[in-house]
Amino acid sequence: MQPSPVSSVDLPEVPASRTSEPTVNGGQSFDMALKAAALEHSGSQAAPQSVAPGPLDAPLSRLPALLSAQSLNSPPPSGMDAAAAYQRHAITSAQPAPISGAQKYKDDQLLRNPGGRGYYLDEKKVVEPSHKESILGLVRKDFSDAFGNIRNFFGNIFLGTTVLHRNENNEIMKGHQKGLFATIGDFCKDLGSALSFGSWRPDSAQAPHGFKNRLLYSVSKLKDAFMGDILNGVPLSVNHMGKNLILSGWHLAEVLPDAAIGNFEPGQKLTTNIFDNGHVAIEYLTDIIPSGDAWLRVHASSLKELKPPLLYNIKMPEFNNGDIRWENVRNTSFRKTVETFGALLADALSITFIGQTGSSSNRRNQVE
């Protein structure tokens, strides 16, 4: 017994974005959807027997052989049942495969500054490199990345720059990192608020009432001014400026190998791997040194929650919108691990360097 054919008239219109590109064996995914619709249609009459998993190798004409005898006696699936089952199958097949913490980390780092081969930050777009780009297109991208980092260098001198990150839905979102002049401006505002005991509030904060509240407000603003703006904010802006200069030179150096071997697919793959991974390494090294983004995250603490440095960052979830230090990254276990070890190693090297410098200075003074 053959199921009655389904005419195109019976099928409701399905959005093309969901069904225009079946992802399992081309047109065979529609056969699988018809089988699922037949099983669902006969579910109340008899439980279907097990069906072999995997891609459907049998053509549609042999579909009854895959069903139980009782289900053969049930009416064939309607066009609406078939279309709904196919749409569910298409949606399930379109779900992106999970990626590792290392892949998330690399993606986050390439979204921050121009340089990734398939990363077009001005357009908020990431594409898979085709390795078929012309030499002219490769060289144009290299120069664009180099000048993009120069632009960010000047942006980090003044008001700051735009950085991209992904949210919980894997959507690319815009973030902001503050520039040097903007940080100094915040210092002046916080210091003025502290010295006026809240009478001057350029940030439009609620006015404190009473001597005790005004005193606490003043202490809080002094902490923001000196700890947040001067000790953390100014070195961080300088760190971003230095990173932009290094990245600009790195991608300017990419022009020569792209022009030399970029016409061959293996050559494009080689230069992409070397310079994309080098970009991520530069981001990492400048992040973990004292005053870098990762260094500040690792050494952050919370007196209110009684969480010391290291523990505060480790307990932080992957997505956090309440603190700018974590707002533009996915704080995965992989990121926590590599940044913690890197920041602690940077601390040890800094202490060793300072100790050796001090010892040399003392010996020189003793000789004199």
Residues 78 and 113 in one domain: no
Residues 122 and 78 in one domain: no
Please check the confidence at residue 70 and state whether its pLDDT lies above 60. Answer: no
Residues 222 and 198 in one domain: yes
Residue 1 lies in a domain: no
The Cα 108–Cα 89 span in angstroms is 31
**Three-state DSSP class for 119?**
strand
Buried b (16+ CB within 10 A) or exposed e, 134-147: eeeebbebbebbbe
Residues 44 and 63 in one domain: yes
Number of domains in the chain: 2
Of 60, 77, 93, which residue sits at a domain end? 93
Of 33, 58, 93, which residue sits at a domain end? 93
Q: Give the rounded percent of residues in the chain with a pLDDT score beyond 70.
A: 70
CB-count exposure of residue 366 (10 Å: 0-12, 13-18, 19+): exposed
If one compares 269 and 13, the residue with the highest pLDDT of the two is 269
Residue 327 contacts by C-beta under 8 Å, 6 or more apart in sequence? 165, 175, 320, 321
Under DSSP, the state recorded for 231 is I
**Helix or strand (DSSP H, E) at 79:** helix 79-93
Sign of CA dihedral 54, 58, 59, 64: negative
Print the domain residue range for 30: 16-93
Residues 108 and 84 in one domain: no
Residue 337 lies in a domain: yes
- The reply to whether the predicted model has a pTM over 0.85 is no
Residue 176 lies in a domain: yes
Residue 170 lies in a domain: yes
Residues 132 and 255 in one domain: yes
Residue 131 lies in a domain: yes
Residues 250 and 164 in one domain: yes
Backbone angles phi, psi at 126, to 5 degrees: -125, 125
Of 93, 128, 161, which residue sits at a domain end? 93
Task: Considering only CA atoms, give the Rg of the chain.
Answer: 30
Residues 25 and 149 in one domain: no
pLDDT digits (tens, 9 = 90+) for 281-320: 999 999 999 999 999 999 999 888 889 999 999 999 999 8
Mean pLDDT of 156-175: 95
Residue 333 lies in a domain: yes
Residues 291 and 142 in one domain: yes
Residues 176 and 210 in one domain: yes
Residues 52 and 191 in one domain: no
Residue 266 lies in a domain: yes
Residue 38 lies in a domain: yes
